[in-house]
């Protein structure tokens, strides 16, 4: 193998292999015939920027290495890529650039695709999906229609979050710390009628299944908290007006019905439904209105802040009755009670809830302790803050002395309340007053309403009909044969800032004839949320050529659920929750036979630069192109993975790149140095062989758990050792096969140079022999009564019995010990043996 050794030229090598692989469709899998399907999914990007940044490359590389590893383990790995190209992200980018989103999206998709083709991934471009293509969104609309038909899509008027900058409503999940997930503007509340998807119907299942899916723990925790299950009770309080005497009922949700005897006042949200009907009886109504206006200006986050000073107003002229003590208690409004949770009203128990405690202190309301930690053994301590633990009840009538746990059900029953499980999860607000999305496939028909109305009294508003400009209209889903409802080209696509999408200005679009009765009807003009597009894209990839259905039954059975999904944790309660919901619905419709879409999910950490997440607004985005051009893709792949374990994320700094570049250069030289290959001596041969097996073991374990950084360290160590050779050719081959997922171009080139037939990427993943990875032997001193009498060599992992046996079998030591009476063995593994004998 005497040949002229060239310098390592990654740019040239990579270009060559990129062309060969693309031409041969090297990573194509046969979707129908594949024997060992493995669906390796990564989150597809929004093509809403100038191009991929290095943070994207980081995530995609992490996922691709895993796919390549599975491929060498013998799986048929399907690794598709596509573009989440509809939605507010792309539209906002188009607005900023002043280019129509349809034009800009196409340009961007092409640019992203070209960049993607450089990163050395297994992508099979024959299965690309684009959420803004009619062939795709036809099925997003189909999905909406299915949800509607299942009773899981409905319209409702509610206080919704509105982003003044994006000029649209947002889902709860898109409001992060009171701000728009997209643009960071503080959201405000507006009362609007909108389309919702009933994800709350799946709250319990979404929660339960978290126990069985193999996902990054922090993501599961975020979903658990977001779903927010609380067990408690709903208890009704009588509220009475003095003049004229009248009574109302106000239900409260409480997790501590056992503390009911300590409820000393009632608090309602400032815009509680009941208030308006009571207005004429509340003597300080002006004050109430003023307070209500003030709180409406506050964001949810400000209101939830525990430490902030409590504010509130007592409702004068009305009182409530504690159903347990029958005593009259005052009714307040305060902004620490949140709208949209529980019943929007609470029974305040200042002795046992810190928020109530602070409020009672400030406004001088009675604090009555009803739970004592160890009563009656100890005296009840005086409270200087709320006691929120369990204990025995005191001052609780006939329940005094029972444990707080037991009292929960008993007291609830005593006052005619009911036990209730409450979730924090809200229904998914799906309509958007924007242009760049799939039109919601719904038609409103007046004529159909009139016909229906005649014979059906049980029609439900928001499901069967809506009211527009004071008139009822039947809700008609667009028949599946009429899908897609194409998004028309609209020159003025800018958001209107009103409660309507720009499509509401396009008569040709919204004026339609009713698909049921043929009369003039009106189309819905809102589009659906981007997260609906991405809630099912993993189902589409393997079936992306199917024109007759969203996904093929057989193909889906073969490829799904997804085996490995790697992506950002910022989607924990958005995409990752919505996809689970949609999958469960399709499962219940018997369209698929699994209810969890992603068997394994790993959230990758973020690539940090200058102490912050890379983002355009901070101006710390690194463009990968220049790095690819100067160092090559293999170096960059390995450098990024060398920063830290994938799930942890890493700190970007240029300085480490040259270290990786040097390593690959060393591999280049090493693998061509004929001098190295030869016959080692017996002992050095054994030592090398052990190292080889240990390296395979470590790299396998680390790659399988996405700890590529330590896998790379092991490879460096290994390369360094074997370069001291001589070693057999298998040592070099092992290095190249282990390196193949990390540096696919270099390893392929060297594989060929070394005269192998075929490709390194078709090689099986190397195996190791358990017996070869045992730790080496150690030599330890043997003492008798504290004096060294000899040494023995033995495997490091020997048990005490084995060590004793070894000592006794030693010619000299054994002979000596057999003449004495042994009192005790003192064994410090790997260090020493001391035998106490009778003198």
Interface with ligand ANZ (CB under 6 A): 230, 253-256, 259, 337-338, 341-342, 344, 346-347, 349, 352-353, 388, 422
Sheet holding 612-613, edge to edge: 612-613, 607-609, 650-651
Binding-residue pattern over the window 412 to 451 for Zn ion, x denoting contact by CB under 5 A? ---------------------------------x-xx---
DSSP conformation letters of 324-386: TT--EEEEEEETTSPTTSTTSEEEE-TTT-HHHHHHHHHHT------EESSTTTSPPPPPSS-
Compose the 180-219 pattern: x for residues touching Zn ion by CB under 5 A, - for all others.
----------------------------------------
Find, among 224, 209, 254, the residue nearest to 599 by Cα: 209
Q: Which is nearer to Zn ion, 447 or 599 (CB)?
A: 447
Select 268 or 817, whichever has its Cβ closest to ligand ANZ. 268
Residue among 105, 100, 92 at smallest CA distance from 167: 92
In 3D space, the residue among 704, 569, 575 whose CA is nearest the CA of residue 649 turns out to be 569
Output the smallest distance, CB 477 to Zn ion, in A. Answer: 12
| Cα(351)–Cα(262) distance, integer angstroms | 7
- What CA–CA distance (Å, rounded) separates 446 from 519? 9
Residue 11 contact, options Zn ion, ligand ANZ, none, Cβ 5-8 Å cut-off depending on partner type? none
CB of 358 to ligand ANZ, least distance (A): 13
Among the residue ranges 157-165, 517-525, 566-574, 585-593, the one whose residues contact Zn ion (CB under 5 A): 517-525
83: three-class secondary structure by DSSP = strand
From Zn ion, ligand ANZ, none, which one binds at residue 259 (CB under 5 to 8 Å depending on kind)?
A: ligand ANZ
In the complex, the smallest distance separating the C-beta of residue 276 from ligand ANZ, rounded to whole angstroms, is: 19
Which residue has tokens 């994800």?
199
**Which residue number, 348 or 514, has a Cβ lying nearer to ligand ANZ?**
348
Cβ–Cβ under 8 Å, residues 600 and 214 = yes
Compare residues 316 and 522 and give the one whose CB is closer to Zn ion: 522
| Distance between CA atoms of residues 387 and 258, nearest Å | 13
Q: Which is nearer to ligand ANZ, 82 or 344 (CB)?
A: 344
**Residue 609 host element (H or E):** strand 607-609
Does the protein bind Zn ion through residue 472 (CB under 5 A)? no
State how far the Cα of 404 lies from the Cα of 367, in Å rounded to an integer. 18
Question: Alpha helix (H) ranges present in 600-651?
Answer: 624-631, 633-642
Q: Which does 748 bind (CB under 5 to 8 A by kind): Zn ion, ligand ANZ, none?
A: none
CB of 238 to ligand ANZ, least distance (A): 17
Q: Which does 448 bind (CB under 5 to 8 A by kind): ligand ANZ, Zn ion, none?
A: Zn ion
β-bridge mates for residue 825, sequence order:
835
For residues 782 and 779, give the distance between their C-alpha atoms in angstroms, rounded to a whole number. 10
Rounded CA-CA distance 128/109 in Å is 11
With left for phi above 0 and alpha for psi between -120 and 50, is residue 758 left, alpha or beta? Answer: left
Binding site partner of 677, from Zn ion, ligand ANZ, none, Cβ cut-off 5-8 A by kind: none
DSSP per-residue string spanning 235-292: EEEEEEETTTTEEEEEEEEES-GGGGGG--EEEE-TT-HHHHHHGGG-TTHHHHHHHH
Shortest distance, CB of residue 494 to ligand ANZ, whole angstroms? 37
| Token pair in block for residue 629 | 């051009």
Taking the complex as a whole, how short is the minimal distance between the CB of residue 467 and Zn ion, in angstroms? 16
Select the binding partner of residue 80 from Zn ion, ligand ANZ, none (C-beta < 5 to 8 A, by kind).
none
Query: Could you tell me if 272 and 266 are in contact, meaning their C-beta atoms sit under 8 angstroms apart?
Result: no
Q: In this complex, which beta carbon is closest to ligand ANZ, that of residue 228 or of residue 685?
A: 228
Q: Residue 578's closest CA among 165, 171, 88?
A: 171
Q: 442 contacts which partner out of ligand ANZ, Zn ion, none, CB within 5 to 8 A by kind? A: none
352 makes contact, choosing from ligand ANZ, Zn ion, none, with CB < 5 to 8 Å by partner type, with: ligand ANZ
Choose which of 88, 324, 514, 582 interacts with Zn ion (CB under 5 A). 514
Partner from Zn ion, ligand ANZ, none contacting 517, C-beta within 5 to 8 A by type: Zn ion
Compute the least distance from the CB of residue 478 to Zn ion, in Å: 12
Binding partner selected for residue 209 from ligand ANZ, Zn ion, none, CB under the kind-specific 5 to 8 Å limit: none
Binding of Zn ion by 516 (CB under 5 A): yes
Closer to ligand ANZ by Cβ: residue 198 or 424: 424
Place of tokens 């496939």: 441
**Would you count residue 517 as binding Zn ion (CB under 5 A)?**
yes
Output the smallest distance, CB 450 to Zn ion, in A.
9
Compute the distance between CA of residue 68 and CA of residue 79 in angstroms, rounded to an integer: 10
Q: Which does 346 bind (CB under 5 to 8 A by kind): ligand ANZ, Zn ion, none?
A: ligand ANZ
- Residue listed under structure tokens 């949770």: 341
476's tokens? 């008609």
Nearer to Zn ion, 448 or 664 (CB): 448
DSSP-assigned beta bridge partners for residue 601: 215, 565
Residue 516, contacted partner among ligand ANZ, Zn ion, none, CB below 5-8 A by kind: Zn ion
Q: Work out how close the CB of 444 gets to Zn ion at its nearest, in angstroms, rounded to a whole number.
A: 9
Site string for Zn ion, 329-358 (x = CB under 5 A): ------------------------------
- Tokens representing residue 155 in the block: 């319209």
In the bound complex, what is the minimum distance in angstroms from residue 248's beta carbon to ligand ANZ? 18
Nearest distance, CB of residue 376 and ligand ANZ, angstroms: 21
Residue 670 contact, options ligand ANZ, Zn ion, none, Cβ 5-8 Å cut-off depending on partner type: none
Least gap, CB of 152 to ligand ANZ (angstroms) = 25
SS3 724: coil
When CB distances are held under 5 to 8 angstroms depending on the partner's kind, the choice from Zn ion, ligand ANZ, none that residue 514 binds is: Zn ion
Q: Which of Zn ion, ligand ANZ, none lies near 445, with the C-beta cut-off 5 to 8 A by kind? A: Zn ion
Residue 363 near residue 267 (C-beta atoms within 8 A): no
Site for Zn ion contains 515 (CB under 5 A): no
> C-beta of 496: minimal distance to ligand ANZ in Å?
33
Contacting residues for 579 by C-beta, under 8 A, at least 6 apart: 534, 535, 536, 538, 597, 598
Residue placing its CB nearer to Zn ion in the complex, 377 or 455:
455
Long-range contacts of 550-555 (CB under 8 A, 24+ apart): 550/139, 550/142, 550/143, 551/592, 553/591, 555/31, 555/32
Q: How many alpha carbons fall within 13 Å on the CB side of residue 519?
A: 12
* Binding positions for Zn ion, 593-612, rule CB under 5 A: none
Chosen from ligand ANZ, Zn ion, none, partner binding at 822 (C-beta under 5 to 8 Å by type): none
Residue 515 CB, nearest distance to Zn ion (Å)? 8
Q: What is the smallest separation between the CB atom of 407 and Zn ion, expressed in angstroms?
A: 57
Partner whose binding site includes residue 353, from ligand ANZ, Zn ion, none (CB under 5 to 8 Å by kind):
ligand ANZ
Q: Six-digit token pair at 397?
A: 């009538």
Q: Report the residue number, 295 or 543, with the smaller CB distance to ligand ANZ.
A: 295
For the bound state, the minimum distance from the C-beta of residue 562 to Zn ion, rounded and expressed in Å, comes to 41
Q: How many residues bind Zn ion (CB under 5 A)?
A: 6
Q: Between 230 and 496, whose beta carbon lies closer to ligand ANZ?
A: 230
Dmax (CA) of the chain: 114
State how far the Cα of 393 lies from the Cα of 784, in Å rounded to an integer: 67
Nearer to ligand ANZ, 423 or 594 (CB): 423
CB of 364 to ligand ANZ, least distance (A): 19
Would you tell me which residues interact with Zn ion (CB under 5 A)?
A: 445, 447-448, 514, 516-517
């Amino acid at each position: 193998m005497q040949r002229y050794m060239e310098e390592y030229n990654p740019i040239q090598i990579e270009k060559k292999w990129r062309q060969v692989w693309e031409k041969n469709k090297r990573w194509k899998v046969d979707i129908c015939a594949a024997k060992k399907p493995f669906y390796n999914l990564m989150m597809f990007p929004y093509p809403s920027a100038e191009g991929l940044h290095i943070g994207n490359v980081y995530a995609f590389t992490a996922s691709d290495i895993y796919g390549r590893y599975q491929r060498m383990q013998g799986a048929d790995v399907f690794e598709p890529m596509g573009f989440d190209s509809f939605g507010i992200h792309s539209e906002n980018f188009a607005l900023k650039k002043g280019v129509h989103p349809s034009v800009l999206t196409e340009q961007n998709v092409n640019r992203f695709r070209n960049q993607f083709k450089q990163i050395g991934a297994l992508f099979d471009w024959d299965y690309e999906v684009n959420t803004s293509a009619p062939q795709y969104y036809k099925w997003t609309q189909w999905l909406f229609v299915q949800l509607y038909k299942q009773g899981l899509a409905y319209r409702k008027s509610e206080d919704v979050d509105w982003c003044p900058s994006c000029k649209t409503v947002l889902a709860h999940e898109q409001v992060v710390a009171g701000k728009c997930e997209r643009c960071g503007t503080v959201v405000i509340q507006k009362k609007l009628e909108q389309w919702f998807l009933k994800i709350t119907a799946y709250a319990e299942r979404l929660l339960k299944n978290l126990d069985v899916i193999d996902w990054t723990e922090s993501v599961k925790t975020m979903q658990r908290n977001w779903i927010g299950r609380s067990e408690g009770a709903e208890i009704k309080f009588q509220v009475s007006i003095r003049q004229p005497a009248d009574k109302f009922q106000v239900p409260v949700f409480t997790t501590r019905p056992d503390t009911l005897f300590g409820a000393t006042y009632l608090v309602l949200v400032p815009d509680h439904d009941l208030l308006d009907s009571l207005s004429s009886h509340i003597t300080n109504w002006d004050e109430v209105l003023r307070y209500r206006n003030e709180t409406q200006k506050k964001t949810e986050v400000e209101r939830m802040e525990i430490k902030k000073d409590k504010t509130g107003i007592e409702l004068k002229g009305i009182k409530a009755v504690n159903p347990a003590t029958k005593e009259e208690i005052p009714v307040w409004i305060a902004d620490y009670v949140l709208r949209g949770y529980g019943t929007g009203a609470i029974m305040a128990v200042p002795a046992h809830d810190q928020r109530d405690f602070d409020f009672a202190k400030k406004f001088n309301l009675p604090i009555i302790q009803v739970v004592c930690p160890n009563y009656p053994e100890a005296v009840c301590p005086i409270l200087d803050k709320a006691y929120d633990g369990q204990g025995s009840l005191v001052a609780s009538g006939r329940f005094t002395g029972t444990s707080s746990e037991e009292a929960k059900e008993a007291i609830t029953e005593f006052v005619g309340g009911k036990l209730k499980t409450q979730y924090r999860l809200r229904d998914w607000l799906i309509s958007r007053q924007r242009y760049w999305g799939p039109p919601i496939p719904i038609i409103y028909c007046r004529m159909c309403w009139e016909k229906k109305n005649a014979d059906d009294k049980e029609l439900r508003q928001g499901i069967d009909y809506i009211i527009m400009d004071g008139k009822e209209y039947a809700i008609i889903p667009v028949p599946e044969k009429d899908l897609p409802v194409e998004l028309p080209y609209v020159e003025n696509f800018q958001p209107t800032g009103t409660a309507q999408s720009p499509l509401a200005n396009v008569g040709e679009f919204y004026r339609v004839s009713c698909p049921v009765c043929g009369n003039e009807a009106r189309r819905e003009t809102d589009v659906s949320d981007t997260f609906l597009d991405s809630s099912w894209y993993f189902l589409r990839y393997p079936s992306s050529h199917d024109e007759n259905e969203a996904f093929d039954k057989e193909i889906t059975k073969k490829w799904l659920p997804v085996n490995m999904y790697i992506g950002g944790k910022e989607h924990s309660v958005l995409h990752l929750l919505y996809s689970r919901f949609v999958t469960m619905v399709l499962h219940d419709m018997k369209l698929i036979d699994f209810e969890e879409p992603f068997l394994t999910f790993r959230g990758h950490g973020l690539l940090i630069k200058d102490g912050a997440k890379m983002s355009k607004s901070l101006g710390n985005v690194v463009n990968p192109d220049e790095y690819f051009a100067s160092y090559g893709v293999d170096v960059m792949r390995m450098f990024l993975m060398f920063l830290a374990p994938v799930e942890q994320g890493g700190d970007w700094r240029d300085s480490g790149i040259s270290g990786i570049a040097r390593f690959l250069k060393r591999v280049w030289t090493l693998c061509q140095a004929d001098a190295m290959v030869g016959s080692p001596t017996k002992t050095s041969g054994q030592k090398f062989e052990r190292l080889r097996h240990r390296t395979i073991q470590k790299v396998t374990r680390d790659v399988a758990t996405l700890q590529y950084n330590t896998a790379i360290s092991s490879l460096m160590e290994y390369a360094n050792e074997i370069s001291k050779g001589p070693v057999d050719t298998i040592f070099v081959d092992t290095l190249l096969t282990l390196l193949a997922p990390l540096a696919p171009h270099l390893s392929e080139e060297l594989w060929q140079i070394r005269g192998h037939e075929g490709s390194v990427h078709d090689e099986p993943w190397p195996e190791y022999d358990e017996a070869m990875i045992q730790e080496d032997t150690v030599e330890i001193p043997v003492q008798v009564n504290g004096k060294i009498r000899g040494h023995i060599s033995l495997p490091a992992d020997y048990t005490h019995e084995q060590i004793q046996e070894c000592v006794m079998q030693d010619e000299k030591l054994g002979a000596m010990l057999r003449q004495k009476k042994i009192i005790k063995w003192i064994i410090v593994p790997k260090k020493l043996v001391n035998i106490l004998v009778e003198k």
